[in-house]
Amino acid sequence: MVELLDKKFTSFITKEEIDKEISNLAESINNNYAGKEVVFIAVLNGAFIFAADLYRKITVSSSISFIKVQSYEGMQSTGSVHEVIGLTTDIASKHVLIVEDIVDTGITIEKVKTLLNLQKPASVEVCSLLFKPEAFEGKEIPKFIGFSIPKRFVVGYGLDYNEKGRNLDEIYQLKEQNCSQNTMLNIVLFGPPGAGKGTQSERLIEKYGLKHLSTGDIFRYNMSNDTELGKLAKSYIDKGQLVPDEVTIQMLKDQVLQNQEAKGFIFDGFPRTNAQAEALDQLLKELSTEISVMLALEVEENELKNRLKKRAEVSGRADDADPKVIANRIQVYKNETEPVKAFYQKQNKFIGIDGIGTIDEISMRLNEAIASI
């Protein structure tokens, strides 16, 4: 936690996460502008640190220039943009990339784009480290976005609160706004393949208004869109093995950070290793909240195999189609995932749930368990 003037701020996005995201952004920009000449225009003051770190990873032919506009006073976006000052570079017929620390309502950036377009550049795009989708009122979202964040006041890594905090090397959020998060209901819905995690999650999100985070579903979404993450995940999932912790933890963290306004989370299929459980505890602690309970659906092996065999007829999931892969998923569960129960037992947060019966019966058992915490 840090204190700036009269306010307290808690950690939000770490230095490591920022570094990694900047490398991703630089790679996308280098690919997008391959063979072209680009003029980077960084918007002072906020973008100075981001622009410096990003620009050192740029390999396409380019130059950088800095402009200044006034749009923030205190903690409210005033929406009033004055003139753009400091642009000395000739941008006519050139590809321009505006570098921003944050795009909030988008009013500033719209006006900057309009002013730059008067000089007839070949193109004008925006790269913003942070983007607030809920606050955005502009026409076109930035082409390159580092992190989409909720409507929070953030400082650090170039961003300020009344000119303080720009020198912090990570991004912090205003503390008052996440005090209520310790009242969140955060459930780990646990169980072997076919136990009914997905089926029961659907009921729980409806009843309690929670955000459902299924790592399996997120991997499958990436697989169907053939993303790099999807290709990597497929090589493990099709064999019934776990996707490496490093990849899974980062993906889960991104999802939690993007959904901080939720009343709580259902973690379905995560954590599956003790390392994942520890990382989840740490992340929730940083957000001033914690896991409320682990609800573990208990279903015997033959029933699991029968359910998955039946689901294979409709699911289209490659990992359901082969009985050997199903057997491997169950074995991996026993060896690597089941020990996670002890992690929550030690914290007195474990509740076992009989997972045999009708879907309604099991929902009732889950609701009773939630009422008991």
Binding site for ligand AP5 (CB under 6 A): 191, 193-199, 215-216, 219, 236-237, 240-243, 248, 269-270, 272, 276, 307, 311, 319, 329, 357-359, 362
Minimum CB separation of residue 257 from ligand AP5 in Å reads 17
Tokens representing 121?
A: 């550049």
For position 312 contacting Mg ion by CB under 5 A, the verdict is: no
Q: What is the DSSP letter of 134?
A: T
Minimum CB separation of residue 321 from Mg ion in Å reads 16
Residue 128: contacted member of Mg ion, ligand AP5, none (CB under 5 to 8 Å, by partner type): none
Is 307 assigned a catalytic role? no
Residue 362: contacted member of ligand AP5, Mg ion, none (CB under 5 to 8 Å, by partner type): ligand AP5
Binding mask 188-207 for Mg ion (x = CB under 5 A): ---------xx---------
Of the candidates 363, 373, 371, the one whose C-alpha atom is nearest the C-alpha of residue 206 is 363
Identify the burial level of 247 via C-beta atoms within 10 angstroms of its C-beta, where 0-12 means exposed, 13-18 middle and 19 or more buried: middle
Query: Please, what sign has the CA dihedral across residues 233, 239, 245, 248?
Result: positive
Of the candidates 369, 368, 184, 196, the one whose C-alpha atom is nearest the C-alpha of residue 288 is 184
Choice between 138 and 198, CB closer to ligand AP5 = 198
> What values do phi and psi take at 150, rounded to 5?
-70, 175
Identify the burial level of 340 via C-beta atoms within 10 angstroms of its C-beta, where 0-12 means exposed, 13-18 middle and 19 or more buried: buried
Residue in 144, 147, 153, 219 annotated catalytic:
153
Task: State which residue has the least CB distance to ligand AP5.
Answer: 216
Compute the distance between CA of residue 271 and CA of residue 256 in angstroms, rounded to an integer: 13
Compute the distance between CA of residue 182 and CA of residue 165 in angstroms, rounded to an integer: 26
- Ranges of H-type helices in 196-273: 197-208, 215-224, 228-237, 245-258
Minimum CB separation of residue 282 from ligand AP5 in Å reads 16
**Which region, left, alpha or beta, applies to residue 266 given φ > 0 means left and ψ of -120 to 50 means alpha?**
beta
Minimum CB separation of residue 329 from ligand AP5 in Å reads 5
Minimum CB separation of residue 266 from Mg ion in Å reads 11
Choice between 146 and 194, CB closer to Mg ion = 194
Minimum CB separation of residue 350 from ligand AP5 in Å reads 17
Per the CB < 8 A criterion, the answer to whether 112 and 43 are in contact is: yes
Minimum CB separation of residue 355 from Mg ion in Å reads 13
For position 230 contacting Mg ion by CB under 5 A, the verdict is: no
Residue in 12, 53, 66, 101 annotated catalytic:
101
Per the CB < 8 A criterion, the answer to whether 263 and 209 are in contact is: yes
Residue 46: contacted member of Mg ion, ligand AP5, none (CB under 5 to 8 Å, by partner type): none
- Ranges of H-type helices in the chain: 15-32, 48-55, 107-117, 197-208, 215-224, 228-237, 245-258, 274-286, 301-315, 318-321, 323-332, 340-346, 359-371
Residue in 17, 53, 100, 286 annotated catalytic:
100
Is 101 assigned a catalytic role? yes
Is 365 assigned a catalytic role? no
Per the CB < 8 A criterion, the answer to whether 84 and 91 are in contact is: no
Choice between 106 and 193, CB closer to Mg ion = 193
Is 166 assigned a catalytic role? yes
Measured in residues, the chain has a length of: 373
Angle (CA) 154 157 162, round 5°:
55
Residue 274: contacted member of Mg ion, ligand AP5, none (CB under 5 to 8 Å, by partner type): none
Is 354 assigned a catalytic role? no
Choice between 53 and 319, CB closer to Mg ion = 319
Residue 193: contacted member of Mg ion, ligand AP5, none (CB under 5 to 8 Å, by partner type): ligand AP5
> By the criterion CB under 5 A, which residues form the site for Mg ion?
197-198
Which positions are catalytic? 100-101, 104, 153, 166
